[in-house]
Chain A
Amino acid sequence: MKEAELHARLAASGLTGIGALDTSARDPFVTVEAGALVAALTFLRDDPECRMEMLHNVTAVERADAMEVVYHVCSLARHHTLTVKVRLPRPAGGTHDTWIPEVPSVAGVWAAADWHEREQWDLLGVRFTGHPDLRRILLPAEWIGHPLRKDYVYPGEHGGIPLELDAVPLYERAPGSPPPPARPARAAGTPLEQPPAPFSTRPLAAGGKTCEPGQGGGERGGAH
């Protein structure tokens, strides 16, 4: 079936909150309300005409006015695909730090959603309510922020290692692209160059000499 027929079938299912089919983009998509998402995707999976056996991809797109969560579902038996979107409008003044959009999890519909949703939470900060285990998946558990947000600022350091991003540009920007967001000043306590670590004063062995620099006898003293 084409996307239009799939959409007609979905709209005729009696579910509320099914929007119109948008054909302006290269791939037509259906926008549904967040409240109707799980019911709509369950319908697409179980309906004998649609038979969307596989959730191919879950992703999110941050726009200026909203966060769009995008589901690509496909049917192997029927050879068709459909793109379903949920728009989560950005509240006034909603930024990376203050705005966590929420959408119901579909991990109960397809098990594949589990990891996909965890990745979108990790990188874009979309909370999938009802997800069985919404942990970070790619970044370390202690990471702060969601790097794929447009207003994400690069950290000055991670785990005590300063990240010198300003000295060497990571890449040449494409001509005409908007300038990157300004990076924050280096956080206090993370100097550019760490002072050299002091030499070890641990005794070498029982009765052995310690390794004090400049006093001879150490590994670097050169006396032995």
Chain B
Amino acid sequence: MEALELYTADVQDDVWTEELKLNLGPQHPSTHGVLRVELKMDGEIITAARSDIGYLHRCAEKIGENVSYLQFTPYTDRMDYLAACNNELAWSLAVEKLLGVEAPERAQWLRVIACELNRIASHLIAFGTYGIDMGANTPFFYAFREREAIMALLERPAGSRMLYNYVRPGGVAHDIDERWLPDVLAFCDEFERRWAEYNQILSTNKIFIARTANVGVLPREMALAWGCTGPVLRGSGVRWDLRRDVPYLWPYGEVEFDVPVGEGTHGTLGDCWDRYWVRMREMIESVRIIRQACARVPSGDFMDKAMARAYKTPVKPPKGEAYMRCENPRGELGFYLVSEGGASPIRCRARGPSFCNLSVLEALLPGCMIADGVAIIGSLDIVLGEVDR
């Protein structure tokens, strides 16, 4: 409200103003994909906002009901395409829960390393594109340089650079080569050094802080009520991370790492800068996890033997249902599977974190300037492929 008074106080009585309807998107660099936001504007102040999604809807849930359990894994890559390994992990764990199988120990640790590498790559995109949203182009190139190294690393066992199809029900698709773990550790050392550069160039930049601190404040209660998860929830000061609180993959319970939360460093708790800073610190925590995991990868099978055979015949889980949630870079991804004993589920529901995080946008935008609206959309870090599925 203060902003409203500030910017309407100088308007003279004889200036004729009217409410303006403005379309942000669907093709706009700051919407990070095909998102359309209908805005009602009073000058530069947003008075109402309505999100229009669905431009990227590909009936993923319908496809899931029509292909076999194992065939659906690569489709999950295409939901949150920046964190393919994490999506596969959630799907694999849901299928394994339904089947009652567990991946061998080596596969569990390889999954942790792959998923954490993917988390760093995903947060790097969030970091780089957020800089672009705020008018800082350089961090983007820094971020893509390191992301390129991660993609090259994951390409070696997975065979592809972005949509890996690496984590599969029963284990992982391929074993690693003998030079892989040392190379991952070398990357970790290099990354920590470069992470300090990111903070010099963006995190501590005065203009960047001015654009993001005290902007888009999401209080704790609001974040919980709207179902926000991941860095958006933690940015509001809620220390909740499924990896720590519900270790869905048991190695997460055996490694040490912190769960960074927003602290209101430069302004109000839960503002854009807090969400940004949670992501930045999570990258370093992921490096910590990877270091410990690399030391603990045992020898042995990388795929459950029974499941390896099952890949040649259709898998038919018993009647039942399973809900599996995992901590993705963007929040909690949940898969709800209902089996009636057939070769494909009768319901395959994906609860995407971006979908829920985006739904809070309509409540956050009213009352702020349009330039801050861009900062808020960027700080939610959505992937439209997962919002629309």
Contact = CB atoms under 8 A, between A and B. Distances in A.
Interface stretch (B7-15, B28-36, B133-141, B318-326): B318-326
Label chain A's interface by main secondary structure: loop
B67 interface: yes
A152 B226 CA distance: 31
Given A72-B323, A171-B67, A57 B61 contact: no
A140 B57 CA distance: 10
B227 A72 contact: no
Contacts of B314: 174-177
Interface in B126-171: none
B255 interface: no
Given A173-B66, A174-B314, A111 B226 contact: yes
A116 B336 CA distance: 14
Contact of B344 (A24, A61, A174): A174
B343 A56 contact: no
B214 interface: no
A170 B62 CA distance: 12
Contacts, number: 119
Contacts of A175: 314, 343
Interface of A: 24-27, 29, 53-57, 59, 61-63, 70, 72, 76, 79, 81, 83, 110-112, 114-116, 119, 123, 136-140, 147-148, 170-171, 173-178, 180
B344 to A, nearest CB: 6
B381 interface: no
Nearest to A83: B323
8 contacts: A27-B321, A59-B349, A61-B347, A72-B336, A76-B224, A111-B363, A148-B62, A177-B314
Contacts of B238: 76
Which of A25, A54, A70 has the most C-beta atoms of chain B within 10 angstroms of its own C-beta?
Answer: A54
B336 A57 contact: yes
B117 to A, nearest CB: 27
Contact of A112 (B66, B68, B359): B359
Interface of B: 53-54, 57, 59, 61-63, 65-68, 71, 97-98, 222, 224-227, 238, 240, 245-246, 314, 316, 319-323, 325, 332, 334, 336, 338, 342-344, 346-347, 349, 351, 355-356, 359-360, 363, 388-389
A120 B224 CA distance: 21
A171 B344 CA distance: 13
A140 B26 CA distance: 14
A61 B360 CA distance: 26
Nearest to B221: A53
Given A54-B227, A61-B346, A115-B355, 10 more contacts: A24-B320, A25-B319, A26-B98, A54-B225, A76-B245, A110-B227, A112-B226, A115-B359, A148-B61, A177-B68
Nearest to B245: A79
Contacts of B246: 79
A177 B342 contact: yes
